[in-house]
Amino acid sequence: MPSFLEDYSAFSGDGSNNEDNLSLDEFLESYDPLKYRSPSVTADILLLCHNGPIETVKSGMSLLMVRRRNHPCIGYWALPGGFCEIGEDLEDTARRELEEETGLTGIVLEQLYTWGEVWRDPRDRIITTSYIAVVDKEPNVVAGDDAAEAGWFNISMSQKVMNEDEKEKNTLYTIELTSKDNGEKLTGSVLVKESKNSLFVNRRYEVVESNKIAFDHARFIVNGLIYIEDCIRQK
């Protein structure tokens, strides 16, 4: 099939043919992207609000959530987000989905984490990149697209070190989200396994318990709050 890109001159390498004696033009003409099944890609957004300087994430923060209108996890609360379209940059996906599901535009987003386990969604093999943003006041939101409702939730988080040795530290994080509209409570517990025997910090997130929080979004939330904590410590 023809190239996915109109201008692919930057991909010609040294201009030689490959082992099948095909030029780049010929290779692309014969390439079939449907020969192999590909994962779907989604973007989800953690939009948090905190009035004034952030000194802790354990209290004083709120999070925007949407109630799912359809399967899977119908009726549960999720982060705004959705599927990337074929001709769309991933950050544009995040911005579009945020606008479609909540009506919000102009939010500055930062790419946070990519979640790639195979068990995450019954619809398809789905890889999700989470984005994060913090605003200093809660904008009004209007639910749309596949969101039945949209609303702000106060966040509280606690943590308990379960075990620790010279190689790994395991910490259980518990979150409680309380709706600012009607007091509805969502809860989740996430075990964070942190490797300590490397130059880089490797954290793995496992949802232990989730009550009315859709998919594996409880660990997205904990991951985002830990990221903010890391930013606070580095200041």
pLDDT of residue 169: 94
Q: Confirm if 45 and 131 have CB atoms less than 8 A apart.
A: yes
Q: Does residue 9 fall inside a structural domain? A: no
CA quadruple 90, 92, 97, 103: dihedral, nearest 10: 160
The set of long-range contacts for 164-170, using a CB threshold of 8 Å and a minimum separation of 24, is 166/196, 166/197, 167/195, 167/196, 167/197, 168/193, 168/194, 168/195, 168/196, 168/197, 169/193, 169/194, 169/196, 170/194
CA 158/CA 12 separation, integer angstroms: 53
Q: What pLDDT was estimated at residue 234?
A: 84
Split into its structural domains, the chain has a count of 1
What is the C-alpha separation between 142 and 151, in angstroms, rounded? 8
Per-residue model confidence (pLDDT) at position 20: 96
The pLDDT tens digits of the residues spanning 39-81 come to: 999 999 999 999 877 878 877 899 999 999 999 999 999 999 9
What backbone torsions phi and psi does residue 163 show, to the nearest 5 degrees? -160, 160
CATH code at position 62: 3.90.79.10
Residue 219 lies in a domain: yes
pLDDT at 56: 80
Is residue 212 one of the residues assigned to a domain? Answer: yes
- 50 located within any domain: yes
What pLDDT is attached to residue 52? 76
Q: What is the dihedral of CA 144, 148, 152, 158, to 10 degrees?
A: -130
Q: What is the structure's pLDDT at 197?
A: 76
pLDDT score at 1: 57
Whether the CB-CB separation of 170 and 161 falls below 8 Å is answered with: yes
pTM recorded for the entire structure: 0.93
Instruction: Please give the structure tokens belonging to residue 21.
Output: 């004696």
In terms of residue numbers, what domain contains 169?
A: 40-234
Read off the pLDDT band of 199 (50, 70, 90): confident
Q: Is residue 7 part of a domain?
A: no
What is the tens place of the pLDDT at every residue in 109-154? 999 999 999 999 999 999 999 999 999 888 888 777 676 789 999 9
